[in-house]
Amino acid sequence: MLDTHARKYVQPIIDKTATLCVQGGLSANQVTVISFLIGSSSGVFFYFDHLFFSVFSLWLSGFLDAVDGSIARQTRTQSSWGTVMDVTFDRLVEISVILGIAFRFPELQWALLILSVSIIFSMTVFLTVGAVSDKQGIKSFYYQAGLAERTEGFILLTLMMVAGDYRLLFTLIFFAVETFTGIQRFLEAKKILNEG
């Protein structure tokens, strides 16, 4: 929801950073890989009790994940491979955080497991609709909006890392929000695909 409706407020900063990256000789795919490497360290930092670095690396990777798309549009280098890397690396960053929490707090593994199931469900609908829809957005596939998009996920992952005694509560809230988003996208898919 925030990615769809609030992006316009931070887009100038993203575009400026993209311009600086282009001037520095970085391609969109290179920034995608850098974003992935930084983001995937988040769960490792969390496991080793470096909370500041775990949260910082998560959000820096999210920012760079937006910058890579702006670089691709500025340089007209959008590609299907870039999209595949982008979507795949996004999930691996989320998995890093979930695993970091799961290994550090084994008593929460059941909640993190059902959260993972809800993410798989929601992303399956999202990617399937994107693959079969004739519509296209600024990405190279149709981006189906929902209650939980990447920013909401980052907010909830951050709360899961910093919340202490409320970690389980925020994990279950994330599960509920992600499940709702999956159902929302599934029901909307019928309208998008114009099938009776």
* Model pLDDT for residues 51-64, shown as the tens digit of each residue: 999 999 999 999 99
In this prediction, residue 2 carries a pLDDT of 62
* Cα four-point dihedral sign 67, 68, 71, 73: negative
Residue 140: what pLDDT? Answer: 56
Q: What is the pLDDT of residue 5?
A: 62
pLDDT band of residue 18 (cuts 50, 70, 90) is very high
User: Cα separation of 86 and 48, whole Å?
Assistant: 27
- Spatial separation of the C-alpha atoms in residues 40 and 47, rounded to whole Å: 12
> How long is the chain?
196
pLDDT of residue 136: 56
* pLDDT tens column, 64-122: 999 999 999 999 999 889 989 999 999 999 999 999 999 999 999 999 999 999 999 99
Whether residue 85 contacts residue 29, with contact meaning beta carbons closer than 8 Å, is answered with: yes
164, pLDDT greater than 60: yes
Question: Greater confidence, 67 or 146?
Answer: 67
φ/ψ region of 164 (left if φ > 0, alpha if ψ in -120 to 50, else beta) reads: left
Mean of per-residue pLDDT scores for the chain? 90
- CA 28/CA 36 separation, integer angstroms: 12
Domains of the chain, each with CATH number or no CATH: 2-192 (1.20.120.1760)
